[in-house]
Structure formats: C-alpha cells, structure tokens
Amino acid sequence: MNVSIQELKYVITETIKEARHLFFNPIVKFENLKKINDHYEISGTYELRGILTDKIIESGKFKAVLNEELEVISLEITPTKE
C-alpha cells in the first residue's frame, strides 16, 4: 500500500486533536518517519496557535505507531506548553 506524507500527517493531526481535546487542528511536524515491516513509526512536534493572536496555546512532542491501514497502534504525547 502506497501512503503519502499528507495521509500520515492527517491521521496524526486528527489523533492529537482528539486525544488532547483541542478545538482546532494543531500544526504537526515530523522529525522522524520510519516504515518497519507492516507499520510506521513517527515522531515529531505539534503546536496549536490562536486564530487572532497567533500565540502558541499548546505545544508538545509525540511518538506514534500506525499500522499499514493507518490505524493508530500507540500514541505518546508529551505537552511542553499548556
């Protein structure tokens, strides 16, 4: 199965949004992406910024493992600013 970076980023963005109970989509940046056998290991950072002020509301790091169907197997989120 061919998977694009945009598809992976969408899944991670929606998963972080749901897990952190955020109202808006965070900005997600991948620092490391590996495909190992039948799963993806992804780590990176996320930021949620205010709409009017562009001030960082929340930011943090994440590590995720997704299977080939892009279902989240595990997710570790470490907020650095709440």
Q: What is the pLDDT of residues 46-75, one digit of tens each?
A: 999 988 888 999 999 999 999 999 999 999
* pLDDT score at 25: 92
Does 24 score more than 90 pLDDT?
no
Per-residue buried b or exposed e for 3-35, using 16+ beta carbons within 10 Å of the residue's own CB:
eeeeebbebbbebbbeebeeeeebebeeeeeee
Residue 40: what residue type? Y
C-alpha span between 16 and 38 (Å, rounded):
22
Does 77 score more than 80 pLDDT?
yes
Residues in contact with 52: Cβ distance below 8 Å, sequence separation at least 6, in sequence order:
none
Tell me the average pLDDT across 14-29. Answer: 93
Determine the topology of domain 5-81 in CATH.
Nuclear Transport Factor 2; Chain: A, (3.10.450)
